Chains A and B, each alone.
Chain A
Amino acid sequence: MTCSAVDTGELTRARRQVFLALFIAVAVTLHLFETLLPTPVPWLRLGLANIMTLVALYLYDGRGAWTVSLARVGIGSILLGRLFSPGFWLALAGAIVATSAMIILYRVAGRRLSPIGISAVGAAGHALGQILAARLLVIQHEAIWQILPLFLFFTVFSGILTGWLAAGLLEQLKQHPAFQLTPGVQERLCK
């Protein structure tokens, strides 16, 4: 690690940008990987990409989580060739509701919830957002709300799964020097 004349604030920002870009890349990959997986029911997805949103939320902040989730939807849709299609708007709405729910809960609950609890709520928010968008854009019929409970039921488990993976990953990452260094520590190291 070099320190020399680089401003530490600048260094932190650059480091953050590089890692967020990496998280986005991983999230997009997970997202694409998931669409290739066979599922018992086509519209059920695990939401593995949410792992990276959670990681960004825990390692950085809400803004980092927003960056990862929105970029993941955008880039994923471009790669799948469905940018601005109904599926895109559904995914975007799901991501927006999920990310808002997770950030708000994270701020309110803090350490009282692990990534698993946050992730479960995020997954439920994702389902809610998708159905909301579908109700407004695709199926203009109130009957669509009837599938929400079934969605919710599955999202509890997929949320626990992704939250668990995120928690494990976070444990590993936090031991890594790259994420242990707060600016103060850096200054001391650079002396």
Chain B
Amino acid sequence: MKTPWHFMTAGDWLVVLFLLTAALAGIAWVAAAPEGTRVVVTSGEQTLFIAPLDQPRSVDLDGPLGQTHLVIDEQGVRITRSPCPRKICISMGTARHRGDLLACVPNRILVHIDSSAEEAPYDLLSR
């Protein structure tokens, strides 16, 4: 069978180049995001758990399917055990940058990283 290059027109190359550039620029932009300071775990509208990123710990989070196990260490935060069927959340690896996201859709657990300065649980303090 003929190689892909045989079929590809100049327009094809242009399209591929454009998509690759967009993807790489996006990846660079995401990777350049500053490191976050806080791990926030939510399930639907509920916030289940908030912890600083710089303190190692592990925690079990309850979802509809059971417990999802979360580990925070020097590398960042990752999911190590989950009752979901396809373990996609575990394969998402480690999150460390602000805005990074780990999601276990079946168990409705959403882990994301932010900076506490940017998003405190409240806007102002009344005292």
Contact = CB atoms under 8 A, between A and B. Distances in A.
Decide if A and B touch, CB cutoff 8 A.
Answer: yes
Contact of A42 (B9, B16, B22, B87): B87
B91 A116 contact: no
B24 A116 contact: no
B62 interface: no
Contacts, number: 105
A98 interface: no
Q: Which of B33, B42, B105 has the most CB of A within 10 A?
A: B105
Nearest to B45: A140
A168 B99 contact: no
A152 B101 contact: no
A107 interface: no
A153 B112 contact: no
Contact of A146 (B91, B99, B105): B99
Contacts of B91: 41-43
B72 to A, nearest CB: 17
Interface residues of B, number: 35
A146 B30 contact: yes
Contact of A149 (B7, B10, B16, B29): B29
Interface string B40-60: 001000000000000000000
Contact of B103 (A42, A116, A139, A161): A139
Interface stretch (A8-16, A19-27, A70-78, A117-125): A117-125
B88 A43 contact: yes
B101 A143 contact: yes
A113 B101 CA distance: 36
Interface in A147-191: 147-150, 152-153, 155-156, 159-161, 163-164, 167-168, 171
Q: Is the interface of A mostly helix, strand, loop or mixed?
A: helix
Nearest to B9: A114
A149 B32 CA distance: 13
Contacts of A63: none
A92 B82 CA distance: 27
Q: Which of B11, B12, B30, B42 has the most CB of A within 10 A?
A: B12
Interface of B: 1-2, 4, 7-12, 14-16, 19-20, 22-27, 29-30, 33, 42, 86-88, 91, 99-101, 103, 105, 110, 112
Interface of A: 41-43, 86, 109, 111-117, 120-121, 124, 134, 138-139, 141, 143-144, 146-150, 152-153, 155-156, 159-161, 163-164, 167-168, 171
- Please give me the 3 A-B residue pairs with the lowest Cβ-Cβ distance, nearest first: A149-B26, A117-B12, A152-B23
18 contacts: A42-B88, A113-B9, A114-B11, A115-B7, A117-B8, A117-B12, A120-B15, A134-B105, A139-B101, A141-B42, A149-B23, A149-B29, A150-B30, A152-B19, A152-B22, A153-B23, A156-B20, A167-B7
